[in-house]
């Protein structure tokens, strides 16, 4: 594997035990560069590999149904690891504390952790680096071109990151290596396991994963195969038409790391579909997703209005006192009871399924600016709804999308308008010109 995917966070002292893989973003046993890096280090040292996941009871915006989706996927991943002879510990508590404790308990040779640009995950790795007795590595298995290799600065738009990604793709868009089966798995100390986690988290009682998205690697792989076979052709033209169910639908599995974005890219690149469609999908899957990771890594205020570019902040401030066409209270917005049928359909789709059509996400978010007293409230509301209701929330894609919609991040100034200033606006009339809004609303009301 390309070792530029990995960087050393703290040197520590190598122990005599196994290499530990700390799974916290990429929850899968196959197509996983972090796990592959752990095997590489273990082979060099002549030792074995073990893996662990730590559920943080204080994780931001926890939704019991989403936690249930994660735990269901981890059960399948545990079986995949077991087939490789890799024991898998499921821990509960402050992840960096638990990670260092486990490393000391097994006298770990090293620990390999997933890369994640979000604030709380950066904190986890900083704290773990200080407490870890052995070397701590970070491997980017989320991005096809590793985030730290693609750019060392905050990119202003897709057009500035795209050429860097394309230049590096031949180096990093490679097939995943086959991992060996360990004949003598290492022993791990007792840990809570799934039953123990559920007993320690009473809010999970009765919670079920959202309907329509089965958790786990197998469901993710099946969804990818269906899309490549039946949905990729025509994708470039149909993807932005919410009245048609033409998006890939892969984002929940991509968000939870149950599907490798690189596996999806390899599958799409070799598919029998028109070049226009393959390139449109790869633009979103690779360039846009990696732009979101770049944004969150270099703008740790990614969920605040302070992350907006100066031109957008100045224009929004100039229009702060503009009359709003309507002001809706939070409960009415969450219940999808506005006077806008398209917005109501989008919000209903989000609440019912845990997912919203990507094009409607932009409109949905922009209308919050018109329906709240100020951009700060719109920003906070969009983040809350997205993180709490969306199965693929709490993700760089969501934070970047909200910042684009409300604050012009990765965009440019447009014509000056009330409320929005020179931030790009969207209107219901514009939606009607683009697609059949009523057909979209009917599809949401009558899924399947």
Domains of the chain: 3-141 (3.40.50.620), 147-177+216-300 (1.25.40.80), 305-445 (1.10.579.10)
* pLDDT 10s digits, 339-379: 999 999 999 999 998 999 999 999 999 999 999 999 999 99
Closest among 282, 47, 280, 271 to 145, alpha carbons compared: 282
Residues 368/376, Cβ–Cβ less than 8 Å? no
What kind and span of H or E run contains 22? Answer: strand 19-22
Closest among 175, 122, 147, 116 to 287, alpha carbons compared: 147
Q: Distance (Å, rounded) from C-alpha 189 to C-alpha 19?
A: 15
Q: What is the pLDDT along the chain (448 residues), one digit of tens a residue?
A: 898 999 999 999 999 999 999 999 999 999 999 999 999 999 999 999 999 999 998 877 668 889 989 999 999 999 999 999 999 999 999 999 999 999 999 999 999 999 999 999 999 999 999 999 999 999 999 999 999 999 999 999 999 999 999 999 999 999 999 999 999 999 999 888 777 887 778 777 777 777 779 999 999 999 999 999 999 999 999 999 999 888 899 999 999 999 999 999 999 999 999 999 999 999 999 999 999 999 999 999 999 999 999 999 999 999 999 999 999 999 999 999 999 999 999 999 999 989 999 999 999 999 999 999 999 999 999 999 999 999 999 999 999 999 999 999 999 999 999 999 999 999 999 999 999 999 999 999 887 6
Residues 243/11, Cβ–Cβ less than 8 Å? no
Helices 375-389 and 396-407: angle between axes, nearest 10 degrees? 150
Task: Quote the pTM value.
Answer: 0.95
Number of Cβ within 10 Å of residue 57's Cβ equals 13
Q: Distance (Å, rounded) from C-alpha 384 to C-alpha 61?
A: 8
DSSP conformational letter for 386? H
């Amino acid at each position: 594997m390309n070792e530029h995917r990995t960087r050393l966070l703290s040197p520590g002292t190598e122990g005599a035990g196994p290499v530990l893989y700390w799974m916290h973003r990429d929850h899968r046993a196959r197509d996983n560069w972090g796990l592959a890096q752990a095997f590489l280090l273990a082979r060099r040292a002549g030792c074995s590999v073990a893996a662990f996941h730590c559920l943080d009871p204080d994780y931001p915006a926890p939704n019991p149904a989403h936690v249930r989706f994660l735990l269901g996927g981890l059960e399948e991943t545990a079986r995949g690891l077991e087939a490789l002879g890799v024991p898998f510990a499921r821990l509960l508590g402050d992840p960096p504390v638990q990670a260092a404790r486990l490393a000391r308990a097994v006298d770990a040779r090293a620990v390999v952790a997933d890369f994640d640009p979000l604030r709380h995950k950066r904190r986890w790795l900083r704290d773990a680096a200080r407490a870890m007795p052995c070397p701590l590595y970070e491997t980017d298995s989320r991005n096809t071109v590793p985030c730290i290799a693609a750019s060392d600065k905050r990119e202003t738009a897709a057009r500035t990151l795209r050429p860097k990604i394309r230049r590096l793709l031949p180096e990093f868009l490679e097939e995943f290596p086959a991992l060996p089966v360990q004949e003598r798995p290492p022993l791990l100390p007792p840990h809570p396991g799934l039953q123990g986690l559920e007993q320690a988290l009473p809010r999970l009682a009765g919670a079920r994963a959202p309907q329509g998205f089965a958790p786990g690697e197998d469901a993710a792989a099946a969804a990818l195969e269906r899309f490549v076979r039946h949905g990729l052709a025509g994708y470039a033209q149909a993807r932005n038409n919410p009245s048609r169910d033409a998006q890939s639908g892969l984002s929940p599995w991509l968000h939870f790391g149950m599907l490798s974005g690189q596996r999806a890219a390899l599958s799409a690149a070799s598919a029998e579909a028109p070049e226009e469609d393959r390139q449109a999908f790869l633009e979103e899957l690779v360039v846009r997703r990696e732009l979101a990771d770049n944004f969150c890594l270099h703008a740790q205020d990614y969920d605040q209005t302070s992350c907006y570019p100066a031109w957008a902040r100045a224009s929004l401030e100039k229009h702060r006192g503009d009359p709003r066409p309507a002001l809706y209270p939070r409960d009415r917005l969450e219940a999808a009871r506005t006077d806008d049928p398209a917005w109501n359909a989008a919000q209903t789709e989000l609440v019912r399924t845990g997912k919203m059509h990507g094009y409607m996400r932009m409109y949905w978010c922009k209308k919050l600016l018109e329906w709240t007293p100020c951009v700060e409230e719109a920003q906070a509301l969009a983040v809350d709804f997205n993180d709490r209701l969306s199965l693929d929330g709490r993700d760089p894609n969501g934070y970047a999308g909200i910042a684009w919609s409300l604050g012009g991040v990765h965009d440019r100034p447009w014509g000056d308008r009330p409320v929005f200033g020179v931030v790009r606006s969207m209107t219901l009339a514009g939606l009607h010109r683009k697609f059949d809004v009523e057909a979209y609303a009917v599809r949401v009301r009558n899924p399947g």
